[in-house]
Structure 1
Amino acid sequence: MTTLTKSEATPAPAAGDAFLSVRDLYVRFATEDGVVKAVDGLSFDLERGRTLGIVGESGSGKSVTNLAVLGLHDPRNTEIRGEIVLDGQELTGAPERALEKLRGNKMAMIFQDSLTALSPYYTVGRQIAEPYRKHTGASKREAWGRAVEMLEKVGIPNPKLRVRDYPHQFSGGMRQRAMIAMALVCDPDLLIADEPTTALDVTVQAQILDLLKDLQQEFGSAIILITHDLGVVANTADDLLVMYAGRAVERGTVREVLRSPQHPYTWGLLGSMPRLNSAVDEPLSPIPGAPPSLLSPPPGCPFHPRCAHTQEVDGDRCATERPSLPDGRGAACHLAADRKQTIFIEQIKPRLA
């Protein structure tokens, strides 16, 4: 499929002064079974020095969105429409050579699985030093010294020795730190962390998240933190975007969304989390049903087949009319604002206490 530079839909509002601005983004994949509508009209902004948490179940479009920002989708079977503007530079439809100059330099990504993201054929030090040499023109000696410096910065013990090790010689937490070192070696302005704490024990998770916050303060980077765990973003992110079936269904600051969520899907995510003060044998409250197929997503609100509150909306609007997401704080839901507040206070909040 052809990658287009502008959306064919109604023109999105012009980007503001945000460092990263995504407007009306659509990502489609051509498959043997049909076209997968992975991202469906997504818009958001991110400022320098702030962290945006993007949460949602697997398949909600979180990683696809950020791979589109990096320009890592295969153009042979991917259609991308919309605007992605990084520090005033349009990325959608940009030449591959221009994107290569930005990747690893101005923008970088910490991938979910560090074992598969790191090459088993090269030492950790070489994999950190290579992008530094490419983007800065540094000598081999300088780049190697930079690799040692970065391993030390992310807390790897004996970095002068460990820089010569291969990825399989590192533990899971240490490989994740090495991935962070590789992503930050050129001091990128935008860092995308795709579930950086997946499969790590709780202690290492906390260390990795604290490390990201410390490095953000040092480098002033804008960070996108992709996760399915609201607990991870609670003390890490500044702003929160909740995604479902390729769409944004709620957004606001972390404090706003977690203290007063407005979308039934967000209620479900919060309700399915275990509580420290709950009884050991108390069952969790999972969201009923399963996410829709993105080959043929349902009309109207994509969450309506799983939502317990569709009967409280007049007519069949939930099944036929796509709810809009307001600018700034808000949720894409047809429930009246006062009714959402009542439901949250009477039914949802007591379960979260």
Structure 2
Amino acid sequence: MSTPFLSVRDLKVHFSTEDGIVKAVDGLSFDLEKGKTLGIVGESGSGKSVTNMAILGLHDPRNTALDGEILLDDKELITASEKELERLRGNKMSMIFQDALASLSPYHTIGAQIGETYRKHTGCTKREARVRAIEMLRRVGIPQPDVRVDDYPHQFSGGMRQRAMIAMALVCDPELLIADEPTTALDVTVQAQIMDLLKDLQQEFGTAIIFITHDLGVIADIADDVLVMYGGRCVERGTKKEVLRDPKHPYTLGLLGSMPALDGPVDVPLSPIPGSPPSLLNPPSGCRFHPRCTFADKVAGGRCSSERPALEVVDGRGAACHLTPEQKRELFPDYAAARTH
């Protein structure tokens, strides 16, 4: 079996605050191979972005405690120095942020910002960096790139700014690309264009992609594998088809039930998940989803509220839930049948 390009093992990210310790990520493990896309999905506050900031080494060490293991091409990142991380960021690994306008400097041209990243990691001249910036703008579909390279961010539309962010992230041909909800603020047409662009560029570069989102429709379009997070933990893992068509955790079931099915009847009422995500300052004991779970009373002995369910993964598939397979077949039958063709 080949060694994964990215391997995260028992990652914990805890923040020190005036109110106490926030357990933002609390024991997370996953692997990612080159050329594959892992979709990480969950509500706000589930730990998605915190996980990927830890991979990039962007947390403030003064108030952040990291534990576990993050291996990028066999290089340990948690213990890496800031100098090592700076060498890797933008070069071997890169990130597309959600808000391109906030992430781009209003005082510098698009070309200068793309070129700066390239110069830092290659030591090339300004002229060479400009040529590279024009090439990248062309690759991401910016019209007249030799002219638009001298424009400022405010002169680009939202979709074009996002394309420029992608060009900046890919300018050094990174082997790992983290996309943090890059299409959230875009209309559906531009969103589809950006998704197609990412898939085309992945085929061209063979990049491993982590795609963070709360939108399961986006996951269905771009991901190979899916990791569902809740309360700083992984509650379900599997291939896209396994997770979206045959969920094994009540939280995943709730996420799917709260969005319209693209391949089913349009008159099926949506079923929002009751309650709110947990406070990670004082998270619930046992399964963190149990206060909102409609099936918690089906498990004998109150185990859901007292015992953390193990995430047992077999061939990449697993769910952290105390319900037995028989109970899941009994409780989830209509849903699973409706989405399995």
TM-score (norm 2): 0.96
Q: Does 1:346 align with 2:334?
A: yes
Match of 2:218 in 1: 232
Aligned to 2:153: 167
Contact 1:193/1:225 (<8 A) preserved: yes
Kept in 1, the 8 Å contact 2:245–2:336? The answer is: no
Paired residue type of 1:90: E
In the alignment, which residue of structure 2 is the partner of 1:24? 10
Structure 2: which amino acid aligns with 1:164? D
Separation in structure 1 between the aligned mates of residue 128 and residue 334 of structure 2, nearest angstrom: 61
User: Is residue 274 of structure 2 the alignment partner of residue 288 of structure 1?
Assistant: yes
Residue-by-residue CA offset, 1:6-45 (whole Å, 9 max, x unaligned): xxxxxxxxx9710000000000111111111100000000
SS in 1 for 2:300: coil
Taking only the aligned residue pairs, the percentage that are identical comes to 72
Q: Which secondary structure state, in structure 1, belongs to the residue aligned with residue 301 of structure 2?
A: coil
* Cross-structure match for 1:147: 133
Aligned partners of 2:266 and 2:247: how far apart in 1?
24
Q: What is the CA–CA distance in structure 2 between the aligned matches of 1:254 and 1:351, rounded to whole Å?
A: 13
Residue by residue over 1:70-126, the C-alpha shift from the partner in whole angstroms, topping out at 9 and shown as x without a partner, is 000011111110100000100002100000000000000000111111111111101
Tell me which of 99, 113, 116 is aligned to 1:130. 116
Secondary structure of the residue aligned to 1:143 is helix
- Residue-pair matches, total: 338
Structure 1 residue 82 and structure 2 residue 68: aligned? Answer: yes
Which string of whole-angstrom CA distances, capped at 9 and with x for unpartnered residues, describes residues 293-341 of structure 1?
0000000000000000011111110000000111220100000012112
| Structure 1 gap ranges (5+) | 1-14
How far apart, CA to CA, are the structure 2 residues paired with 1:28 and 1:220? 33
Is the contact between residue 110 and residue 191 of structure 1 (CA under 8 Å) also seen in structure 2?
A: yes
Aligned residue for 2:22, secondary structure, equals strand
Letter in 2 for 1:305: P
Give the aligned partner of residue 299 of structure 1.
Answer: 285
Contact 1:120 1:168 in 2 (8 A): yes
The answer (yes or no) to whether the contact 1:51–1:236 under 8 Å persists in 2 is yes
CA distance in 1, matches of 2:203, 2:269: 40
Task: Work out the CA distance in 2 between the residues paired with 1:269 and 1:54.
Answer: 13
Change (3 A) 1:19 1:223: same
Letter in 1 for 2:17: T
Instruction: Write the deviation string for residues 251-291 of structure 1: whole angstroms up to 9, x where unpaired.
Output: 011011111110000000000002456557x6421100000
Deviation, 1:292, is 0.5
Do structure 1's residue 270 and structure 2's residue 248 form an aligned pair? no
Q: Within 1, Cα distance between the matches of 2:101 and 2:79?
A: 31
Amino acid at match of 2:309: P
Match of 1:335 among 290, 307, 323: 323
Are residues 1:217 and 2:203 paired? yes
Residue 47 (1) aligns with residue 47 (2)? no
**2: distance between equivalents of 1:121 and 1:271?**
45
Residue 346 (structure 1) shift = 3.3
**Structure 1 residue 97 and structure 2 residue 83: aligned?**
yes
Aligned equivalents of 1:144 and 1:261: distance in 2? 48
* Shift in alpha-carbon separation, 1:261–1:347, aligned structure 2, 3 A: closer
4+ residue stretches of structure 1 with deviation over 6 A?
none
Contact 1:29/1:37 (CA < 8 Å) preserved in 2? yes
- Asked if 2 retains the 8 angstrom alpha-carbon contact of 1:55 and 1:240, the reply is yes
* TM-score, reference length from structure 1: 0.93
Over the aligned positions, Cα root-mean-square deviation in angstroms equals 1.6
Amino acid at match of 2:332: F
Counterpart Cα distance in 1 of 2:189 and 2:340: 24
Q: Which residue of 2 aligns with 1:254?
A: 240
Aligned residue number for residue 3 of structure 1: none
Please say if residues 246 and 340 of structure 2, whose CA atoms lie closer than 8 Å, have aligned partners that are also in contact. no
**1:52–1:237 CA contact under 8 A, matched in 2:** yes
Match of 2:190 in 1: 204
Q: Which runs of structure 2 are paired with 1:167-186 in the superposition (5 Å)?
A: 167-186=153-172
Q: Distance in 2 between matches of 1:348 and 1:318?
A: 23
CA contact (8 A) 1:135 1:186 kept: yes
Match of 2:179 in 1: 193
Q: Distance in 1 between matches of 2:266 and 2:84?
A: 55
**Native 8 Å contact 1:70 1:103 kept in 2:** yes
The one-letter code matched in structure 2 to 1:339 is Q
Please state how far the C-alpha of 1:136 moved relative to its aligned partner.
1.0
> Equivalents in 2 of 1:141, 1:330: separation in Å?
51
